Structure 1
Amino acid sequence: MTFDPTTLRRDDYGFFGPDSPSWKVWTSPTAVIGFQRAVALEFFDPFLTASVSDTAKIYSDPRHRLDATFAYFLIVAIGDTRTAIQASEHLMTIHAKSTGIEPISGQRYSPNNPETQLWIHITGWHSVLKAYEMFGPGLTPEEEQRFWQECRVAAELQTCKPEDVPVTREGVREYYAQVRARLCTSERAQAGMHQMLFTSPKNGAGWTYALGARLLSFASIATLPKWMRKLGQFDRPRIVDLLVRPAARILVWLFTLFGKKGLIMAAPIIAPMAGQILDSHQRSGLPATLETRTPAEGRELYGTRGRRNISAAS
């Protein structure tokens, strides 16, 4: 996915707007921690593991895997409606070309499968909120309720059913309990998780990304439950968590002192495209229309079908 940073907020405030908890959580320095957590968790889904592993790009360029996925989530959360709709359609087109056979079950996989998309979506939004709660200021109960409603809205841009997206903390726990039986690891899954957490500079990512990812992993692993850490074979002693949490909170606080520039400073080493989006977010003036839209309105205005309808009428 390519991104023109000058187009992030041309038309409107997107789906949520500047007073939303989504803008608050997704533009916090803790989002980098949360998203490393998310891309590691993705590999517990065997169908997603097969899709990512078969392309093999993760082994030569793990930074791109994290960066491109992070950039998409950011665009949906803070971009204008046109940018978000076009990013969604581009991603679905790319995913449609990636199909194959998942070796454990022998079933066909597709990244656009609704269950796979639901796993990606919930782990992404939940992970950034978890990091925001653990290392940042957290949300009020009212803000959290709105955050999960916004998470469901964002799901409309993917192939999962929005009604399947939980809108409460208890609902998220129930979702994880329901899917736990089908989560598993394999040699390829563990290789993928470890690649995202403990990247080696020898794989083409470079020393700066490898060092940044490894340092970040101390915080991202500390946010995970023990059963996930043991299943993924990246558990650490409890004393490490106890030391990491205050240190990470201090670092987040220091980055927050720079205001909106905090995450822009934190992101580029790990996710340069995400850093561009956040820089554009900070620099963007008022959009043409000071309002938010729904995904349905966005598709009608800017989606492929909407563009075809406009062309036919003109």
Structure 2
Amino acid sequence: MTGDVGLFGPDSVTWKLHREPILLLGGLRSLYLQALHPRAVAAIAQNSGYRSDPWGRLMRTSDYVGTVIYGSNDEVSEASSRLRRLHARMSATDPRTGERFRIDEPDLLRWVHVTEVESFLSTAVLSGVRLTADEVDGYYTEQRRSAELVGLDPATVPGTAAEVEAYYAAMQPELGLTRDGAETALFLTVPPVPSTWGSRAFRLGLTLGPPRWAYLGVASTAIGLLPGWARKMYGGVGWPGTDLAARISVRGLRALLTGVLATLPEQHRVAPMRRAALERAKATSAQH
């Protein structure tokens, strides 16, 4: 794998964007968006173990995204093949029509992809990450490679900011808050504390104390960063001032995360997958 920088590489907008820890908040924002698609959220509710193992599912999803962004070509191929095989075995029932459908339908895969990459990008920009208009479009275009990995035809995936906006406008009549969506959003906002996290007293402190209130603040920021039409679908969260409050909060969170990282030893400032990718990139430069 020496010199193999994977799908994107150090000169890509993708690498520039994904070095930002605030993208964790973008991932949460994307889940609130995904919960507004009745079929997509039904597929998650009927197939995913997120209720019994939410933190495990979060880590597995983060590992997959990290592999796609920073993994070698072999690592990316292996991870995406495994994901496609998993999806191919799953189906769900549409709660509105009773119709049985595969969860790897292109329309569902496209919704999950677009909401994820748009959330990463929008959250980063709103937090203060500076990107030119060309870089914004470049990120969407680069991420068509990620869409192809899950089985989508890249030509059917929005590749610019204007195309993403048009896609959202076209999708809105199909969206709405179902029971599955409401339960998922509530779960995202008030998740359980894992039983493996220390003593009963420690867990009680997380459940009722400052950490829980801090997480609620993070979740409310993720909701506040949603497009106005999405907030309205959740009801009562589209009041004037929501945008400004969310922008102030996300900038503060980015500053906090940046400050915390700056205090860590050098070997812990960069995620292991990114560190390995940077080493491969150095090897590539040395070869040339």
TM-score, normalized by the shorter chain, greater than 0.5: yes
1:281 is aligned to 274
Q: CA deviation at 1:157?
A: 0.4
Q: TM-score, normalised by structure 1?
A: 0.76
User: How many pairs does the alignment contain?
Assistant: 272
Residue 44 of structure 1 aligns to a residue whose secondary structure is coil
Q: Distance in 2 between matches of 1:49 and 1:148?
A: 24
1:103 is aligned to 95
| Between 71-80 and 35-44, the greater mean CA deviation after superposition | 71-80
- 2:114 pairs, out of 122, 129, 132, with 122
Residue 271 of structure 2 aligns to a residue whose secondary structure is helix
- 2:284 pairs, out of 277, 285, 290, with 290
Q: TM-score, normalised by structure 2?
A: 0.82
Q: CA deviation at 1:250?
A: 2.9
Residue 82 of structure 2 aligns to a residue whose secondary structure is helix
Alignment gaps of 5+ in structure 2: 198-202
Overall identity of the aligned pairs, in %: 26
Within a 5 Å distance, the mapping from 1:137-148 to structure 2 comes to: 137-148=129-140
Q: Distance in 1 between matches of 2:238 and 2:268?
A: 28
Residue 100 of structure 1 aligns to a residue whose secondary structure is strand
Q: CA deviation at 1:129?
A: 0.1
Q: Distance in 2 between matches of 1:183 and 1:243?
A: 26
Within a 5 Å distance, the mapping from 1:242-253 to structure 2 comes to: 242-253=244-255
1:165 is aligned to 157
**Change in 2 beyond 3 A, CA 1:86/1:143:** same
- 1:232 pairs, out of 231, 234, 246, with 234
Letter of the 2:41 partner, please give it: T
Residues 139-164 of structure 1 show CA distances to partners (whole Å, capped at 9, x for unaligned) of: 11221221111011221101222101
Q: CA deviation at 1:194?
A: 1.9
Q: Distance in 2 between matches of 1:225 and 1:114?
A: 23
Does residue 40 (structure 1) correspond to residue 40 (structure 2)? The answer is no
| Between 200-209 and 76-85, the greater mean CA deviation after superposition | 200-209
- 2:217 pairs, out of 207, 215, 218, with 215
Q: Is the 8 A contact 1:190 1:233 kept in 2?
A: no
Q: Is the 8 A contact 2:138 2:160 kept in 1?
A: no
Residue 18 of structure 1 aligns to a residue whose secondary structure is coil
Q: Distance in 2 between matches of 1:192 and 1:143?
A: 33
Q: Is the 8 A contact 2:34 2:41 kept in 1?
A: yes
Q: Distance in 2 between matches of 1:174 and 1:15?
A: 27
Q: Is the 8 A contact 2:128 2:251 kept in 1?
A: yes
**Change in 2 beyond 3 A, CA 1:45/1:120:** same
| Between 204-213 and 218-227, the greater mean CA deviation after superposition | 204-213
**Change in 2 beyond 3 A, CA 1:154/1:56:** closer
Q: Distance in 2 between matches of 1:193 and 1:203?
A: 22
Does residue 136 (structure 1) correspond to residue 128 (structure 2)? The answer is yes
2:72 is aligned to 80
Q: Is the 8 A contact 1:76 1:84 kept in 2?
A: yes
Q: CA deviation at 1:27?
A: 2.1
Q: Distance in 1 between matches of 2:26 and 2:228?
A: 17
The root-mean-square deviation of aligned C-alpha atoms, in Å, is 3.1
1:3 is aligned to none
**Change in 2 beyond 3 A, CA 1:110/1:242:** same
Q: Distance in 2 between matches of 1:48 and 1:172?
A: 18
Residue 29 of structure 1 aligns to a residue whose secondary structure is coil
